[in-house]
């Protein structure tokens, strides 16, 4: 099953809509609730990142019998130092993002803790792609 969602820059009102839709789909497919929670927490952090830090982007989810693969492709500005961004506590979040309860530098580390595979690639001026995979068993 292939699902696609568009997310828009600074659209905090709808932040989480894609994650919520994917959560409902996984529940309908009777995926183990603990696995669903891991997928959704990771995806929600990535979705908020694309809205808070990037100029929006796309979320592509592929659900197979044994795993889900999600790719969040944003439109930039890109991450100059991914290793720095992966460290807990490092953040470039705006005051607006912090007012929403995010921006403490826990997003990418939180994603890493919840997925089985994570690949973050970024080109400054082009964008960032976060690919994650969670096995169902």
Partner 1 sequence: MKLREISELLNAKVLCGHDRLEEEHESAFASDLMSDVLTLGDYNPVILTGLCNMQTIRTCEMGNLDIIVLVRKKKATEEMIEEAEDEGMVVMECDYSMFKACGLLFQAGMKPIF
Indicate whether 12 belongs to the interface with partner 1 (CB under 8 A). Answer: yes
Do 20 and 125 meet the contact criterion of CB atoms below 8 Å apart? no
Look-up: residue for tokens 């993002």? 97
108: tokens are: 């990418």
**How far apart are alpha carbons 66 and 114 in whole angstroms?**
16
Please state, in angstroms and rounded to a whole number, the distance separating the CA atoms of residues 90 and 69.
26
Q: How far is the CB of 110 from partner 1 (least distance, A)?
A: 6
Least distance from C-beta 108 to partner 1, angstroms?
10
Closest CB to partner 1 among residues 3, 100:
100
Among 31, 53, 72, 102, binds partner 1 (CB under 8 A): 102
Answer for which of 40, 54, 130, 132 binds partner 1 (CB under 8 A) is 40
Answer whether 39's CB lies under 8 Å from 46's CB.
Answer: no
CA nearest 90: which of 108, 102, 105? 105
Residue with tokens 């979705």: 47
Instruction: Determine if 26 is a binding residue for partner 1 (CB under 8 A).
Output: no
CB-based contact 68:134 (threshold 8 Å): yes
The answer to the question of residue 16 lying near partner 1 (CB under 8 A) is yes
Residue among 68, 72, 107, 132 that touches partner 1 (CB under 8 A): 107
Q: Judged by CB under 8 A, does residue 117 bind partner 1?
A: no
Residues in contact with partner 1 by CB under 8 A are 12-13, 15-16, 19-20, 23, 33-34, 37, 40-41, 44-45, 99-102, 104, 106-107, 110, 113
């Amino acid at each position: 099953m292939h699902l696609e969602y568009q997310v828009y820059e600074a659209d905090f009102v709808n932040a989480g809509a894609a994650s919520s839709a994917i959560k409902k789909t996984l529940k309908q497919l009777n995926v183990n609730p603990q696995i669903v929670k891991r997928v959704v927490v990771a995806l929600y952090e990535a979705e908020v990142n694309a809205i808070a830090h990037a100029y929006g982007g796309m979320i592509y989810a592929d659900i197979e019998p044994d795993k889900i693969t999600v790719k969040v492709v944003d439109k930039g500005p890109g991450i100059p130092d991914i290793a720095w961004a992966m460290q807990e506590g490092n953040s470039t979040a705006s005051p607006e993002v912090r007012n929403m309860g995010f921006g403490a530098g826990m997003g990418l580390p939180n994603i890493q803790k919840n997925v089985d595979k994570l690949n973050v690639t970024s080109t400054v001026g082009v964008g960032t792609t976060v690919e994650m995979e969670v096995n169902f068993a």
